[in-house]
Structure 1
Amino acid sequence: MQQTDSDKKYALVIGANGGIGKEVVSQVSAQQRFDTIYTLSRGEAAYNISDFSAHTKLIHKAMDTADEAAVKSFIDELKDNGVKLSLVICTTGILHQEANTQSTPEVVGLKPEKRLEDMHEMQLAEYFRINSILPAIWLQNLVKVVDKQGANLVFFSARVGSISENELGGWYGYRASKAALNMLVKTAAVEYKRRAPNVSLMCYHPGTVDTGLSKPFQANVKPEKLFTPQFTVEQLLSICADLNPEQSPFYLDWKGEAIAW
């Protein structure tokens, strides 16, 4: 029996060129659950499409995933083509910015603050732009193209975004922007329940993963607590398989255990 467009399954990976994003693309493709996976990043694909499953079509688009107009245009294109997304994973996030990157002078050398005096207006704005506003733009637009028969929307968060568990202080911008992300997802879930009741929204804490984001902060991490991208993505996809939309939203760690908001 020939498959119709309405039977096809679609996934979207936002931030597909990052250390975790590339692994998400690889493992989601290997599942062979989706006919098409859309992958987004600021640059061209950092992987060979031919390396992935022959059963899954990969479509990559280079775009600024924090650009509101670009996001709306992309979502409108999906909607016009009848695409309904069953899985969306947003891996984007910023913790630090190397001094040799092509960034604005205000955020060059961005790093977590250790004390109040380290906070800087423009650096705080950059934390919120990437960690909070970018996901908010996607939350706003994705509601138009999620598969209302069932879908999972995942945003990479962090345990330090938990207001309840903050005992150490510091890292003002990163903590606050991830807490804001959590609140945005939690608030959006209320509206998604009305407009797309079979959709699960999740904030995911992947643990400390061996990527460029965590590289400057790995010295004090026990070897058994420094995860590979492969491990944390395996955990994520296993968790996604068991999400119950009636219990949405979720704030879970890599073990599938709930984190206090």
Structure 2
Amino acid sequence: MMRALILGASGGIGAAIAARLRDGGADVTGLSRSSDGLDLTDAATLNDHAARLDGQRFDLIFNATGALMIDGSRPEKSFDAADADAMARQFALNATGVALAIRYFGPLLAGDRRAVFASLSARVGSIGDNRLGGWFGYRAAKAAQNQIIRCAAIEWKRRNRHSIFVALHPGTVETPLTARYADRYPTITPDRSAEALLSVIDGLSPEDSGGFRDWKGQKVEW
């Protein structure tokens, strides 16, 4: 039986991923800030939850945490809105938080077979795909997350040659995160995104570790 750990399991995408996996017969453990006090910006909560799971091994760890607006700070339209505290909060959750999640939960990945750590990134984190500018705090934090995933892929390859680390763009999903901006782009439901993302994950091989894919399985440029 496949065993999966979902970080951010109470959010739109995280809940849909957990439901899809359970419907498929997987043994799913879900953690979230609202239900369990899991906070990627607080290393102590990560350490605590990881310690409680010590001895368990997961075939999939899916990080579905993240935020576009934090403490009311909207994405920047220009550098006139650059704010050090707002950018620090973006990095704390969307980049540093992912590094801490890997530090504390990565050792719970199975070490002798295929094991996947997947993390929600965003296409706007692509430097090469940036045509519009703006949103630079969120963009930069997601770009940093992509580099963190790449570094983890290299390190875990030495621990388990079957391991796969991947950054995923879930599409523009109908969730509270995108509610203010979703009318500008075609959207998909959380369940459709979850179905697509799990299909992408199923199709990955260890040679794909360290990559950046969208919900359709296409590679996203860095």
User: If the length of structure 2 is used for normalisation, what is the TM-score?
Assistant: 0.95
Q: Give, in whole Å, the separation in 1 of the partners of 2:40 and 2:147.
A: 20
Matched with 2:65 is: 92
Matched with 2:100 is: 137
Q: Find the residue that maps to 2:102 and give its secondary structure.
A: helix
Of residues 156, 159, 178, the one that matches 2:142 is 178
Query: Is there any run of 5+ residues in structure 2 with no aligned partner, and where?
Result: none
**What is the one-letter code of the residue matched to 1:178?**
K
> Is the 1:24–1:233 Cα contact (8 Å) retained in structure 2?
yes
**What is the one-letter code of the residue matched to 1:16?**
A
> Is the 2:6–2:18 Cα contact (8 Å) retained in structure 1?
yes
Q: Give, in whole Å, the separation in 2 of the partners of 1:90 and 1:167.
A: 27
Identical counterparts, % of pairs:
35
Matched with 1:164 is: 128
Matched with 1:78 is: 53
Do structure 1's residue 195 and structure 2's residue 188 form an aligned pair?
Answer: no
Deviation at 1:239, TM superposition (A): 0.9
Q: Find the residue that maps to 2:180 and give its secondary structure.
A: helix
Do structure 1's residue 64 and structure 2's residue 39 form an aligned pair?
Answer: yes
Matched with 2:16 is: 23
Q: Give, in whole Å, the separation in 2 of the partners of 1:129 and 1:26.
A: 28
Question: RMSD of aligned C-alpha atoms?
Answer: 1.4
Q: Matches of residues 39-54 of structure 1 in structure 2 within 5 Å?
A: 39-44=30-35
Query: Is there any run of 5+ residues in structure 1 with no aligned partner, and where?
Result: 1-7, 45-60, 98-107
Deviation at 1:37, TM superposition (A): 1.5
> Is the 2:106–2:117 Cα contact (8 Å) retained in structure 1?
no
Q: Give, in whole Å, the separation in 1 of the partners of 2:123 and 2:208.
A: 20
Deviation at 1:166, TM superposition (A): 1.3
Deviation at 1:194, TM superposition (A): 0.4
Matched with 1:242 is: 203
Structure number with greater CO (CA < 8 Å, separation at least 6) is 2
Q: Give, in whole Å, the separation in 1 of the partners of 2:139 and 2:107.
A: 30
Q: Give, in whole Å, the separation in 2 of the partners of 1:212 and 1:242.
A: 29
Aligned length: 221
Of residues 78, 91, 105, the one that matches 1:115 is 78
The structure where helix makes up a greater share of residues is 2
Q: Give, in whole Å, the separation in 2 of the partners of 1:127 and 1:65.
A: 12
Q: Find the residue that maps to 2:119 and give its secondary structure.
A: strand
Matched with 1:5 is: none
Deviation at 1:165, TM superposition (A): 1.3
> Is the 1:40–1:65 Cα contact (8 Å) retained in structure 2?
no
Deviation at 1:218, TM superposition (A): 1.8
The superposition leaves residues 181-220 of structure 1 with CA deviations (integer Å, 9 ceiling, x where unpaired) of 0000011111011012211111000111111100100222
Q: Find the residue that maps to 1:204 and give its secondary structure.
A: strand
Q: Give, in whole Å, the separation in 2 of the partners of 1:207 and 1:189.
A: 23
Matched with 2:193 is: 232
**What is the one-letter code of the residue matched to 1:165?**
D
Return the index of the structure with the highest Cα Rg: 1
